[in-house]
């Protein structure tokens, strides 16, 4: 599932085609994805102007001049593809319709934004902008890791007394928004913390060291266009390439890249998910 860097990369790719532009026509080609689409979704979107395109955790939010916000979740395989307009160095003409093109937005200025989702684990919903943060998908989500409210004092306080492994604590969206399996593995490798360590038993200075590491990893991943492992594509259809810089995730059997460490990356399973770490330098 796309994590924060992938969703942020898609959001940035959509901005030139959508922000400040009117949706001239919306087509909804099936009744549902993971959940049913909201009533009259095509009608409510058609003619609306996108005033702002933002991100909250792993969700893209399009604030409309109708007073509603379109909430978009890419799910496992969802893609937002832009055609008919220049994005950076790329121009893609409108492609022939595909089987899994579930929502199509024809934008003012000639761009077309197509939501394609082969597995249909994605979702879209409409809610009044003034109460968007109370939507069940968004309510209770923790601070953005690249924002000012996510700082060392906050994380130390949230970890205090927690009996869950540090990896699970960082994956908890109520603690910090948008982190997923890939980037938590990368962060823990960089700071040298064993993913199995109980969050509440890690010394405060080491907990504090996680904050700049989280920001650095996410910023590097965004600059690289995210990580493409299966279905993920940027809005212009290009792959992300941060996967080529992974130090831990998916690197089982490879030498640890931490300077001075002669260990080897290992794989374990935590809560049914793969964790990659170095048993020698992550303690």
As annotated, the active-site residues are: 2-3, 58, 273
State residue 130 phi and psi, 5-degree precision: -65, -20
d(CA 143, CA 56): 9
d(CA 56, CA 71): 10
- Residue 167: both structure tokens together: 């990896």
């Amino acid at each position: 599932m796309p994590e924060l860097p992938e969703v942020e990369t898609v959001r940035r790719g959509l901005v030139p085609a959508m922000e400040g532009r009117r949706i001239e026509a919306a087509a909804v080609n099936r009744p549902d994805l993971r959940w049913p689409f909201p009533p009259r979704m095509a009608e409510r979107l058609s003619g609306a102007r996108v005033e702002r395109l933002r991100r909250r955790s792993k969700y893209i939010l399009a604030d409309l001049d109708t007073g509603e916000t379109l909430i978009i979740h890419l799910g496992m395989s969802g893609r937002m593809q832009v055609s008919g307009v220049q994005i950076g160095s790329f121009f893609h003409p409108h492609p022939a319709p595909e089987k899994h093109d579930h929502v199509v937005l024809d934008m003012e200025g000639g761009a077309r934004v197509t939501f394609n989702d082969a597995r249909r684990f994605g979702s879209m919903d409409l809610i009044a902008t003034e109460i968007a943060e109370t939507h069940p998908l968004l309510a209770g989500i923790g601070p953005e890791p690249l924002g000012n409210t996510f700082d060392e004092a906050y994380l130390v306080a949230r970890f205090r007394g927690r009996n869950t492994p540090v990896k699970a604590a960082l994956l908890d969206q109520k603690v910090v928004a948008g982190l997923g399996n890939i980037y938590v593995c990368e962060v823990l490798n960089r700071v040298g913390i064993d993913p199995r360590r109980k969050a509440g038993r890690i010394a405060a200075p080491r907990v504090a060291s996680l904050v700049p590491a989280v920001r650095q990893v996410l910023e590097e991943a965004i600059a690289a266009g995210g990580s493409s492992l299966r279905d993920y594509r940027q809005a212009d259809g290009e792959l992300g390439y941060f996967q080529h810089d992974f130090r831990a995730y998916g690197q089982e059997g490879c030498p640890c890249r931490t300077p001075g460490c002669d260990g080897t990356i290992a794989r374990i399973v935590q809560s049914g998910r793969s964790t990659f770490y170095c048993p020698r330098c992550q303690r």
